[in-house]
Structure 1
Amino acid sequence: MAETSTAPTDQRFPPQIPYIIGNEACERFSFYGMRNILTVFFIDYLLRTQVPETGLREAQAKGLFHLFMAGVYFFPLIGGYLADRFFGKFHTIFVLSLVYCGGHACLALFEDNATGFYTGLTLIAIGSGGIKPCVSAMVGDQFTHSNRHLVKKVYAIFYWTINFGSFFASLFVPLLMTKFGPAVAFGVPGILMFLATVIFWAGRKHYVMVPPTGPNPHSFLKVVFSAFKGDAPKGAHWLDKAKAAHPPEAVEGVKAVFRVAGLMLPFVPFFWMLFDQKASTWVVQARAMDPHVGSVVFQPSQMQFINPALVMVLIPFLTVIIYPAFQRLGWELTPLRRMPMGLVFGAVSFVIAGFFQVVMEGGTTLNIAWQLLPYIVLTLGEILMSTTGLEFAYTQAPREMKGTVQSVWLVTNTLANVAVAIAAALNVFTGAAQFFFYAALASAAAVGMALVARKYVVRDYYQTDAQAPMDGRNPSVEPKPA
């Protein structure tokens, strides 16, 4: 009998992808539009009468900002769990999007009321965080074995779209706050979030709906608890002790979570410690710079538009030119090589910004255009770390654990922002010292991640067809070298 070819043949994206991409573009405009003006809003509006001293007000603003961001990246744990186990990704995304819209409404209506404003931030953290693992995993759910080769490309487009929305939000929303005040500046992102919800709802008849697993007797925690109680042959993996009470594929799924978590949790947070400070520490630095670039006057929070603009240019450049060039040279930039490199670039960007701070503390006023240089370096780090990690987290998990592993990836940001919020509250490192401190942490993390990655065994999981995603039992899940 002739052997059947299993090579991928479908070269077209599924027709439902534009709905998810359109939703993501509008949702990211809404999120980054409100997020990018938060630090300036805290300093110039909400905290102005409560904390008269500028330095303390800036430190408190940074702490509040990073506490909010910690919440945004904590709620993926809950959103991913609810989607995977009970409601499915579609219904979880839709309901939490409505919560998200309510949060935006609170920001616009209560811009001069601390209780109302913080309520709005809480709702946005729940809505935005809750849908994060679901949307990114739902993109991958639309692909099958026949078009699995397009997953890498669609995640590049997905991340490009995130930055498309972020670019316009970063460029225009700070101007809205300057010209029309916080109510309008927070209201416009709310309108975009409502539009994102409508777009997502419009595609409801086209999506591949991977059903939730329901209450699972072989869940992550139950497998772990069984492993602690069971016995296994000498030399076996400690989770194999759970095989007496759980099927092998459930145990393999938990092993996948631990494999990814062991690589990401100890090291990736050190990148986010740096990256998310472009909306806090770098904004505070920009406030001390000369904002005039030719005839244009830039708002400090507006400089964040550089990051998404660079991402939209650099992703195609790296994907089409740089990565293939390294592959032709015989040294492929695999995900496990890109992510430690991303940490190195992040550290270098903070060294550059720290040098600028030293110069300004010496009495020289730098032009705000100098921030372009650290933004370029940090953005290269982001692409190497974040686009890679998003794809890697999806492909390294079997069906039952995709939402959970996506949440592990996103919760690295929670750990990072909690650490920065604590550091801001303690106000231990100020001025140039804080830049060099975070650069040193990221450098050490890069070395540690590179060493751990050398021993990591890559296992990719894709769907076998539209209705039946792969699980650990599928023989076409093949380990690959790092």
Structure 2
Amino acid sequence: MRTGGRTFFGHPWGLATLFCTEMWERFSWYGLRAILATFMAASPAHQGLGLSQETAQAVVGVYGALIYLVALPGGWIADRILGARRSVFWGGFVIMLGHISMAVPVTSPVFVWLGLLLIITGTGLLKPNISVMVGRLYPEGDDGRRDAGFSLFYLGINLGAFFAPIVVGGLAAGDRWHLGFGAAAVGMALGLIQYVWGGRHLRGVGERPGVRLSPGERRRFTVLAALGTAVALVALGAWAATGTLTVDRLTVVITALILVVPVAYFAYILLGSHDLTADERIRMKAYIWLFVAAALFWMIYDLAPSKLLFFAADHTDLSLFGVPIQAATTQSFNPLFIMIFVPVFAVLWVRLGTRVSTPQKFGFALVMVGLSFVVMAVAAALAGAGRVSVWWLVLVYLVQVFGELSLSPVGLSVTAKLAPEAFKGQMLGVWFIAVSVGDAVGGQTGRLGRVLSEPAYYLVLAAMAIVAGVALFLFTRRLRAMMAEHHEPGMR
């Protein structure tokens, strides 16, 4: 691959195209995410859907869970049918249609549900494949520049995530929800325009599928996809005919189905032969513990756009340095702290080397996210006497980011390391299933509010995370042995 010509901070100019595409896609995603729960919980008099906060939290949880779950079939479609480049384009186009659907200013919720379905579908095509294209911009052996390129790419993600809640939340203020949804659609449209315009700089990356389906395989896939869709529609129709189908119950069923996915997958790996060695089976058993820990982390961490957003709207004095802000703006705290502390943690992990193991990093992450909810419990107790300062949420997000930067960067790495040889490619998608499980279950935790006070709710979740984190510390030696991860004191 040629390396000369115009560059983007010393990288192939195609990175600029993908950087901007992802930035605008994340703008649309985080913009919607910042107002979705409050829109759903707002009364029809305030142009909302009138759902309870508990149900809105469950919907947002399932929505986030499906976003990560569909990355698996999205990657497969790119590899076998469309190729990464066309998958990113059509994914972005479908996402834009989803936001447009939600922006239609009608009272019927049909366009809202259609919009969410389109966004889920489109993100499944775009999200996994644009990252693949970033990696393919670099020639084999250019690992250092590739890693630096991904760092720039992730900066684009967080720039979009930072500005989206401020812009979309500001436009949606005063019950102008559909204007906010429209801004998200415009963001995705801008991403698509520059993706097409800058396509010549991609130098053919992702144009063809890796292993294209044969005509017979394509026919079988079409039949199975149509059959699966028909079965799902018939099942929903039959359920609706009974008069018992509700949004709340549907989220419970989807959550249960999501929980089945990792159980079935790990059972398939461990109970089948697949020519796995004894060491590979032991490493997979260790990975299951890390998978559960990650799911528990995301269960709490991804309550930001629902439970914590409601707290911001209902119980905080929305003012920073004397400047009024929207509740949605609090969703910008997280990406801001990520951009500030990513370089710090990158240096820290290099200096610590293997003295800090993967189980210890996961354990620290769980303790941090647990402590963040201890802070939330204190804030919720104080809120019983009136609104509290929004700086409580600033502190919560700061502590949570310390946890994320201890767990998220090593997640894919440890997944690749522990994956059996026969499942190397597939297992990378399993990490996203952990996020999916966490989001889905986290959405259902709102039901605890029926039996727990607000401070007690946060303390229960905090205790779960802290106990799990401490357990990882206690069993670190055992897990390291199972993972064949050795401590080398002399390394830096």
Q: Which amino acid aligns with 1:60?
A: T
User: 1-side partners of 2:376 and 2:191: how far apart?
Assistant: 35
Going from structure 1 to structure 2, the CA distance change for 1:30 and 1:67 (only over 3 Å counts) comes to same
Shift of 1:397: 6.5
Which of 182, 187, 194 is matched with 1:199 structurally? 194
Equivalent residue for 1:93?
88
Partner of 1:356: 379
Match of 1:137 in 2: 132
Decide which of 418, 424, 441 is 1:419's aligned counterpart. 441
Equivalence for 1:24 = 22
How many residue pairs align between the two structures?
423
| Alpha-carbon shift at residue 163 of structure 1 (Å) | 1.0
How well do the aligned residues superpose, as a CA RMSD in angstroms? Answer: 3.7
Query: Corresponding residue for 1:161?
Result: 156
Instruction: Tell me the SS of whatever aligns to 1:212.
Output: coil
Name the residue aligned to 2:370: 347
Identity %: 23
* Cα drift, residue 393 of structure 1: 4.7
TM-score by length of 1: 0.76
Once residues 159 and 178 of structure 1 are traced to their aligned partners in structure 2, the CA distance between those partners, rounded to angstroms, is 29
Q: How far did 1:411 drift?
A: 1.7
Whole-angstrom CA distance in 2 between matches of 1:209 and 1:111: 39
Q: Which residue number in structure 2 is paired with residue 176 of structure 1?
A: 171
State the AA in 2 paired with 1:379.
V
Aligned to 2:465: 442
CA distance in 2, matches of 1:335, 1:144: 30
- 3-state DSSP of counterpart to 1:213: coil
Aligned residues of 2:68 and 2:433 also touching (Cα < 8 A): yes
- TM-superposition CA deviations, 1:373-430 (whole Å, max 9, x none): 1111011112222233245556777999666334211121221122123332564444
Tell whether the 8 Å contact from 2:98 to 2:115 is kept in structure 1 after alignment: yes
- Tell me the CA shift for residue 160 of structure 1: 2.5
Structure 1 residue aligned with 2:454: 431
Summarize the alignment of residues 30-69 of structure 1 with structure 2, pairs less than 5 Å apart: 30-45=28-43, 57-69=52-64
Contact 1:16 1:207 in 2 (8 A): no
1:324 offset after TM fit, Å? 3.7
Change (3 A) 1:209 1:132: same
Check 1:271–1:130 CA distance in 2 against 1; reply closer, same or farther (3 A cut): farther
Find the aligned partners of 2:268 and 2:333 in 1 and give their Cα distance.
49
- The amino acid that maps onto 1:105 is I
Structure 2 CA distance for aligned equivalents of residues 146 and 349 of structure 1: 41
Quote the offset at 1:126 in angstroms: 1.5
Is 1:407 matched up with 2:429?
A: yes
| Cα distance in structure 2, aligned partners of 1:91 and 1:30 | 20
* TM-score normalised by structure 2 residue count: 0.75
Which amino acid counterpart does residue 115 of structure 1 have in structure 2?
A: V
Cα distance in structure 1, aligned partners of 2:39 and 2:81: 38
Work out the CA distance in 2 between the residues paired with 1:199 and 1:399.
Answer: 39
Secondary structure of the residue aligned to 1:267 is helix
Q: Once the two structures are superposed, what CA deviation does each residue of 1:189-223 show, in whole Å capped at 9, x if it has no partner?
A: 11111222233342443426674234699xxx9xx
Alignment-derived partner of residue 232 in structure 1: none
Distance 1:379 1:111 in 2: 38
Q: How does 1:266-415 map to 2 (within 5 A)?
A: 266-287=292-313, 288-320=315-347, 322-327=348-353, 332-333=355-356, 335=358, 337-361=360-384, 363-390=385-412, 392-393=414-415, 404-415=426-437
Contact 1:345 1:378 in 2 (8 A): yes
Code of the residue aligned with 1:432 in structure 2: it is P
Matching residue's letter, 1:58: Q
Give 1:299's aligned amino acid: Q
Deviates most, 179-188 or 301-310:
179-188
Structure that is richer in helix per residue? 2
Cα deviation, residue 30, structure 1: 0.8
Q: Confirm or deny that 1:262 pairs with 2:257.
A: no
Q: Which SS does the other structure have where 1:265 is aligned?
A: helix
Distance 1:242 1:311, change over 3 A: closer
Q: Deviations over 1:36-80 (max 9, x none)?
A: 11111112255969987xxx8222221222122122122112212
Residue 119 of structure 1 and its aligned partner are, at CA, apart by 0.8
192 and 51 in structure 1: CA distance in 2 versus 1, 3 angstrom threshold: closer
The Cα offsets for residues 75-127 of structure 1, whole Å up to 9 and x where unpaired, read as 11221222234333223222222211110110111563211111101111111
Q: 1:126 & 1:132 partners in 2: Cα distance?
A: 10
- Given that 1:256 and 1:397 are in contact with CA atoms closer than 8 Å, whether structure 2 keeps it comes out as no
Counterpart of 1:122, as a letter, is L
Tell me the distance in 1 between the aligned counterparts of 2:409 and 2:203.
29
Tell me the SS of whatever aligns to 2:317: coil
User: Which residue in 1 is equivalent to 2:228?
Assistant: none
Measure the CA separation in 2 of the matches of 1:154 and 1:342. 26
Instruction: Tell me if 1:124 matches 2:147.
Output: no
- Residues 84, 403 of structure 1: 8 Å contact kept: no
